[in-house]
Amino acid sequence: MKLRRLSALAFLSCLLVTAPLSAQDMGPYDVLITGGHVIDGTGNPWFTADVGIRGGKIVAVGKLTGATAARTIDARGKVVTPGFIDIHSHASQGLQSEDARRRAAPNVVTQGVTTVVINPDGGGPISMSEQRATLERLGIGLNAIQLVPHNSVRREVLGEDFQRRATPAEIARMRALVHQGMEEGAYGLSAGLEYVPGIWSDTDELVALTEEIVPYDGLFHVHERAGGLEPMWFRPSVDDPEDVGANRTTMLDFVNELIEVGERTGAKVHFTHMKVRGAPFWGSGGAANSLINRARARGVRITGDQYPYTTSGSDGSVTLLPEWALGEERWGGGADNATPDYREALRRTLSDPSKAAGLRRDIEHEIAYRGGAENIVVFDHPDRSFIGKSVAELAAARGQTPTEFAITLQLEGFPDRAGGARARSFSFNEEDIEVIAAQPWAATASDGGIALPEDGPTTHARYYGTFPRKIRRYAMDRGVLSVESAVRAGTSLPAQILGLRNRGLVQEGFSADVVVMDLTRIRDMATFENPHQFAQGIEYVLVNGKFVVDGEGHVTGSLVGAVISRKDGLVPPSVR
Ligand SMILES: [Zn+2]
């Protein structure tokens, strides 16, 4: 009897193994993509297969000769990949816009991105259900995943009295808000420890709040306390290096703190937009990797992501002059609407010898932090001859030191613009980007949002180019990782980090977030002079089985995205 049962089981399991082969879904499909090289997101090398899509799902991957479909895409000579999952996105503002062109996220979907993780850096609304309802009511062009934002939670509980550690009662109230956000479907908790008011949270606060996401296996997704030797807001003339935030002031100290949170809570912890900022710290990417790899070897669930550029978001509004010298409030106050006259404020600072000495000390520090005056380029100034030149070059031409020239830029520049000019610094180095990109746990993320050409010239190129650039520059041109690994870093890896099921692979049963690209032409086109340019080589993009890019550069504007809730799985978009 026992034996018979066993053999019946063996027979059944045989059936289970062979059944999918004999029962291949041969359509008809909504969409059939034929003859492409499938890079399926696992990191495995490409294989040739047709891909059948119906009802928003991938229903068949294989040789589908003779199958019929409402729409067939001939992908011979092309590559078929999963849609990219951008694990650090500032798209939420654009997705909540009244303007449907923004909600279609043209600069994002034309990179092949089909899902964005919103509310990073600790910023965003506290109510996940309200944000989700807004996105669902308006309709969005790609899928969104929510994080509970720590800075918003902290501000809600501590109010204006935030430059201190939280009390046990306040931590209990913050925990309740994090718990509620997770109940409402968020995939984790985001923090921005270099920003107000997260700067003043200590490790115990982070541990307590992270404990709230553990029952959901949520992700603690963290913007660093410092990207280099000190936090970006550090000014030597006014800040005591021993008294900043939780007294952890370098990027490597931050990595250790994040590991500690992971170790004490058992939670998945994530170093988002991992970077090494500032020449004094360049070369530390390998040390950060080593800390992470050693922690992983003893079971800490730590991962990271990066954007493939040598310049950050804050690098794009580099002022070189400290805010105090321009009469600016330090921590985001001072909202009087009068047009500021920064020249006049700077003249007042210069007329006080001790303040002038502090000013020069802070400028020198800022230039060093940005990697030197040769790494700071002027993009707009009343003197048009300055444009496109570095501060080092311009200072030398004037016979000034870079520090004195930073003062000149303001005194001769736009009086209502802090710093007098629009400048961008390039404060990372390539070696750090490359050693991080080569790590198997390092996902790709844009740290960008939604942009339209009318947003002007300050848009970071990463808004348009992140995912194609990772493939073109770091895989194909520089050989830092394989193309298959670069695809994995933007697809199944972020899906796994998030705990997102059924997305991130070209596989039967997975949601039909699919990209058809031409690898021979794939390239990011956005530059810092001219950022509003779609990437090249992304020919078709499907979100939940519907076309959002239908032919290169042709954004359909279809609002077929969904808010993906950890609680409910996919919420099907209503017919729009
Ligand atoms: Zn950030």
Distance (angstroms) between ligand 1 centre and the Cα of 499 equals 21
Read off the pLDDT of each residue in 172-183 and give the average, rounded to a whole number: 97
Residue 576 in this model has a pLDDT that exceeds 70: no
Average pLDDT of every residue of the chain = 92
d(Cα 198, Cα 378) in Å, to the nearest integer?
A: 31
Confidence of residue 20 (pLDDT cuts 50, 70, 90): very low
**pLDDT tens, 405-460?**
999 999 999 999 999 999 999 999 999 999 999 999 999 999 999 999 999 888 99
Cα(199) to ligand 1 centroid in Å equals 13
Residue 147, classed as helix, strand or coil, is coil
For residue 424 the two structure tokens come to 């961008």
**Cα distance between residue 302 and residue 281, in whole Å:** 22
pLDDT of 47-98, one tens digit each? Answer: 999 999 999 999 999 999 999 999 999 999 999 999 999 999 999 999 999 9
Q: How many CA atoms lie within 13 A of 549 on its CB side?
A: 28
Taking the model in full, what pTM does it have?
A: 0.92
User: Contact 576/546 with Cβ under 8 angstroms?
Assistant: no
What percent of the chain clears pLDDT 90, i.e. is strictly above it?
Answer: 84
Q: Is the pLDDT of residue 19 over 50?
A: no
> Tokens 């816009």 sit at which residue?
97
**Structure letter (DSSP) for residue 374:** G
pLDDT at 346 over 50: yes
- Give me the residues near ligand 1 (ion), CB cutoff below 5 Å: 121, 223
Question: Looking at residues 390-414, what average pLDDT do you find?
Answer: 96
pLDDT at residue 224 is higher than 90 = yes
**Region 333-351 average pLDDT:** 81
The better pLDDT of the pair 334, 432 is held by 432
By CB atoms closer than 10 A (0-12, 13-18, 19+), residue 118 is buried
Residue 155: strand, helix, or coil = helix
Question: Is residue 561 classed exposed, middle or buried when 0-12, 13-18 and 19+ CB atoms within 10 A define those classes?
Answer: buried
Q: Separation of 447 CA from ligand 1 center, angstroms?
A: 7
Q: Give me the residue label for tokens 């049962």.
A: 5
pLDDT band at 317 (very low <50, low <70, confident <90, very high): confident
Which one is predicted more confidently, 370 or 445? Answer: 445
Note the pLDDT tens digit of each residue in 483-532. 999 999 999 999 999 999 899 999 999 999 999 999 999 999 999 989 99
- pLDDT higher than 50, residue 362: yes
Residue 94 C-alpha to ligand 1 middle, in angstroms? 17
CB under 8 A, 24+ apart: contacts of 99-105: 100/138, 100/139, 100/557, 100/559, 101/452, 101/557, 102/450, 102/452, 103/138, 103/139, 103/140, 103/141, 103/559, 104/141, 104/548, 104/555, 104/556, 104/557, 104/558, 104/559, 105/140, 105/141, 105/142, 105/450
How many Cβ atoms are within 10 Å of 22's Cβ, its own excluded? Answer: 7
Q: pLDDT-derived band of residue 14, with 50, 70 and 90 as boundaries?
A: very low
- Ligand 1 center to residue 539 CA distance, Å? 30
Q: What separation in Å is there between the alpha carbon of 128 and the centre of ligand 1? A: 20
35 CA to centre of ligand 1 in angstroms:
40
* Mean pLDDT, residues 170-186 taken together: 97
Cα(255) to ligand 1 centroid in Å equals 15
Question: What was the pLDDT predicted at 52?
Answer: 98
- C-beta separation of 576 from 139 below 8 A: yes
